[in-house]
Structure 1
């Protein structure tokens, strides 16, 4: 058997850009700047403390109503995300994978309700046999547990999977799990060095799924994938 495992935020849907934009607006309203240098280490990584409101408080040098700020950010993110559509190539890959009989999973460091809510809104939830989120593991990315649990749920070995990721932490997790790893950086993560991945694409629709399977076999990654 063989399978594709998708990251969610920044790979299926560009929610990472929405969150960064929402926080940027808050920082600007307080006369401060939210830099990419501060933001990038947190992308795809829930294992380190993430407190942009606390960081803003330090920058402005006075106490802030952090709960109120975070509520505003959540509402702003929700508003921005409602207009988002799947990133280029995602739907083509899902349809092609389904036609080929490939198993499909999502492995995300986000909450299950967040992932499933968006997948259902986009009409994509039914494509996936397995969804693994932060509630399913003790450690999120860059720990490999999410990808190991996704492969286990699909009934395949991690080495039989191809993982699609956008972040450095996600790439590290997928490689540690033993998967053939494809990095597709988004507008934010394009600033990161994702060369640890087995293959880096500018956009997912730059390469047809059939060609990706061929490359994976040629490179020796996902070596247990049969010819389809």
Structure 2
């Protein structure tokens, strides 16, 4: 039986959520939008274009187009990741564990392809995943299941035989909507929230995957 594990990227294999927040706050403040940590949490897990559109609808700005702001944020977060991005604890251990059990491995991220490539290069995982997918140019991003369904098809694995590893609620919803098992590893600020109960497993870190007894 073919089986697969599909990793999210930001907040799952790389500790990039704080860097995303830094980039968002910096770039939105540049256009006169009073942005903060709390606002970052509201749009966590969405594609960058959706984040920019969401906040423009809330508080329109002048001087720069939405596309310019999007590119500025992408450039800033890429710079921050290349400067100080670090892999999440337990990434390599979990990868080795699933490989030993015969799982195919894939990455499915809301981030742009250029950022995915930068992250994989930064943390030394450029040859790890059989399939790498970005929702950047898909009709719908998470929580729509499209990216996970496409990834399973590319792997030639039935969705029911896939495990998704996610940190955001949008990602968890997408995994469940794709009829996949979901491991949720929320960050410290979201851990314990009742809404994550829809996941099949809720963990504190990737290290705990080895204790689940998944075959």
**TM-score bracket for this pair, using the shorter chain length:** 0.7 to 0.9
Deviation at 1:174, TM superposition (A): 0.3
SS in 2 for 1:182: strand
- Given that residues 57 and 63 in structure 1 are in contact (C-alpha distance below 8 angstroms), is that contact kept between their aligned partners in structure 2? no
**Alignment partners' CA distance in 1, 2:164 and 2:150:** 13
Aligned to 1:144: 145
Cα distance, 1:191–1:77 mapped onto 2, change above 3 Å:
farther
Deviation at 1:107, TM superposition (A): 1.1
Deviation at 1:213, TM superposition (A): 4.2
SS in 2 for 1:181: strand
User: Residue by residue, what CA displacement relative to the aligned partner does 1:173-199 show, whole Å, maximum 9, x if unpaired?
Assistant: 100111110100124544853221111
Aligned to 1:203: 205
User: Residue by residue, what CA displacement relative to the aligned partner does 1:116-142 show, whole Å, maximum 9, x if unpaired?
Assistant: 221123221211111121156321111
- Given that residues 85 and 122 in structure 2 are in contact (C-alpha distance below 8 angstroms), is that contact kept between their aligned partners in structure 1? no
Aligned to 1:96: 97
What are the equivalent positions in structure 2 for 1:1-228 lying under 5 Å apart? 1-25=2-26, 32-36=34-38, 38-46=39-47, 49-51=50-52, 54=56, 63-65=62-64, 73-82=73-82, 83-135=84-136, 137-187=138-188, 189-190=190-191, 193-208=195-210, 211-214=211-214, 227=215
- TM-score for the superposition, normalised by structure 1: 0.77
**Alignment partners' CA distance in 2, 1:129 and 1:88:** 22
Larger radius of gyration: 1
**Alignment partners' CA distance in 1, 2:137 and 2:64:** 32
Task: Let me know the Cα RMSD of the aligned residues.
Answer: 3.0
Which is worse superposed, 136-145 or 18-27? 18-27
Deviation at 1:99, TM superposition (A): 2.7
- Given that residues 48 and 70 in structure 2 are in contact (C-alpha distance below 8 angstroms), is that contact kept between their aligned partners in structure 1? no
**Alignment partners' CA distance in 2, 1:9 and 1:49:** 16
SS in 1 for 2:212: helix
Cα distance, 1:56–1:213 mapped onto 2, change above 3 Å:
same
Deviation at 1:212, TM superposition (A): 2.7
Q: Which residues of structure 1 form unaligned runs of 5+?
A: 215-226
**Alignment partners' CA distance in 1, 2:49 and 2:78:** 24
- TM-score for the superposition, normalised by structure 2: 0.81
Q: Which residues of structure 2 form unaligned runs of 5+?
A: none
**Alignment partners' CA distance in 1, 2:55 and 2:148:** 30
**Alignment partners' CA distance in 1, 2:12 and 2:142:** 15
Aligned to 1:217: none
Which is worse superposed, 148-157 or 65-74? 65-74
